[in-house]
């Protein structure tokens, strides 16, 4: 059975771990003792680890459990939009020390938020890894890293209707967490390395259409026109991986949503 490490076991990391449990030996990290106890009780073999934005006097020790792992999945935020360049650099340096000289498969959960907030269609070729600080620093150290640029994370308790939304005619770029789990697992089994993929549902209804569907409101008799906006394409993932989305339409993410997790 393959040994998989998940660094950062928050909302997404926990769901990735749960989807793999039973097929892989799962090892995770968390930032508090209570969270490590909870994760370990679920069979996720948790270790205490954090990656601060400030510079430390001593390097963070390498993760003991990383030896013999087949793949490492990093869900720690590395896109850079939420912090300054120096803070992100410090966080990544601590992360590199924790990973050490790992040679196995590696996955970084990046974000489609790295693309400009301008109308148009965006593919992986629209913005290189070299142009994104977090992606570049990881890829330079570990050339085998697969970078997954994730759209807005949805599923379970994450529904658009629960947020304050503006510009209801703008298209959405969303992804159901279950499809993220399936992408990662397929790439692990294929032994993929050095890939860059947008992971986003192929349909882009408007925010208003998604909200109405989640509120069980009847669709308008007139076809709603989605305004021009930012649209992230996942065609490269579909063509190279022959990937078939289980949840292609964000307006239906909430249906059959009976397996919520804490």
Place of tokens 């489609």: 112
Question: DSSP letters along 126-143, please?
Answer: GS-GGGSHHHHHHHHH-T
pLDDT in tens, 139-175: 999 999 999 999 999 999 899 999 988 889 999 999 9
Cα separation of 2 and 4, whole Å?
6
For residue 53, what are the CA distances in angstroms to 83, 84, 88, 117, 167?
A: 9, 9, 6, 26, 34
Residue 218 has pLDDT above 90, yes or no: no
**Nearest-5° Cα angle at 107, 109 to 238:** 80
pLDDT above 90 for 83: no
Identify the pLDDT of residue 112. Answer: 97
State mean pLDDT over 222-231.
77
Quick one: tokens of 233?
């394409």
- The rounded distance, in Å, linking the Cα atoms of 59 and 57 is 7
| CA-wise closest residue to 137 among 180, 175, 106 | 106
Classify strands 152-154 and 230-232 as parallel, antiparallel or unpaired.
unpaired
pLDDT tens, 165-210? Answer: 888 999 999 999 999 999 999 999 999 999 999 999 999 999 999 9
Q: Tens digits of per-residue pLDDT, 114-124? A: 999 999 999 99
Q: Which token pair is 145?
A: 């890293």
Q: Give domain limits for the chain.
A: 3-157+175-201+230-248
209 CB-side CA count, 13 A = 22
Question: Regarding predicted confidence, which is higher, 77 or 189?
Answer: 189
3-157+175-201+230-248 CATH choice from 3.40.1000.10, 3.40.50.720, 1.10.510.10, 2.40.30.10: 3.40.50.720
Residue 244's CB is within 10 A of a number of other CB atoms, namely 9
Task: Indicate if the pLDDT at residue 80 is higher than 70.
Answer: no
Q: What is the DSSP letter of 9?
A: -
- 51 exposed, middle or buried (CB, 10 Å; 0-12, 13-18, 19+)? buried
Residues 129-135 have a mean pLDDT of 95
Supply the pLDDT for residue 260. Answer: 46
Q: Which is more confidently placed, 1 or 202?
A: 202
Identify the pLDDT of residue 251: 94
pLDDT at 103: 96
Residue 219 confidence (pLDDT)? 66
Percent of the chain whose pLDDT exceeds 70 = 93
Residue 228: what pLDDT? 85
Percent of the chain whose predicted confidence (pLDDT) is above 90: 78
Q: Which residue has the higher pLDDT, 56 or 66?
A: 66
How high does pLDDT run on average in the chain?
91
The residue assigned the tokens 């994450």 is 158
């Amino acid at each position: 059975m393959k040994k998989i490490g998940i660094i950062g076991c928050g909302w997404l990391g926990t769901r990735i771990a749960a989807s793999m449990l039973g097929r892989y030996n799962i090892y995770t990290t968390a930032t508090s003792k209570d969270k490590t106890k909870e994760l370990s009780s679920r069979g996720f073999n948790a270790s205490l680890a954090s990656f601060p934005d400030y510079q430390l006097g001593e390097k963070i020790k390498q993760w003991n459990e990383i030896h013999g792992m087949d793949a490492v999945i990093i869900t720690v935020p590395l896109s850079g939009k939420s912090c300054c360049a120096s803070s992100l650099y410090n966080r990544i340096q601590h992360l590199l020390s924790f990973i050490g000289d790992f040679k196995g498969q590696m996955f970084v959960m990046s974000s489609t938020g790295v693309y400009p907030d301008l109308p148009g269609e965006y593919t992986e070729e629209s913005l290189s890894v070299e142009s994104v600080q977090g992606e570049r620093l990881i890829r330079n150290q570990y050339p085998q890293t697969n970078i997954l640029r994730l759209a807005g994370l949805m599923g379970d308790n994450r529904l658009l209707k629960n947020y304050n939304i503006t510009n209801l005619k703008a298209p959405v770029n969303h992804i159901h967490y279950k499809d993220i789990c399936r992408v990662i697992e397929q790439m692990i089994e294929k032994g993929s390395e050095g890939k860059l993929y947008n992971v986003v549902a192929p349909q882009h209804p408007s925010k208003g259409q998604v909200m109405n569907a989640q509120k069980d409101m009847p669709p308008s008799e007139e076809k709603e026109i989605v305004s021009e906006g930012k649209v992230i394409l996942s065609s490269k993932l579909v063509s190279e991986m022959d990937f078939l989305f289980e949840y292609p339409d964000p307006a239906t993410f909430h249906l059959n949503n009976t397996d919520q997790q804490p």
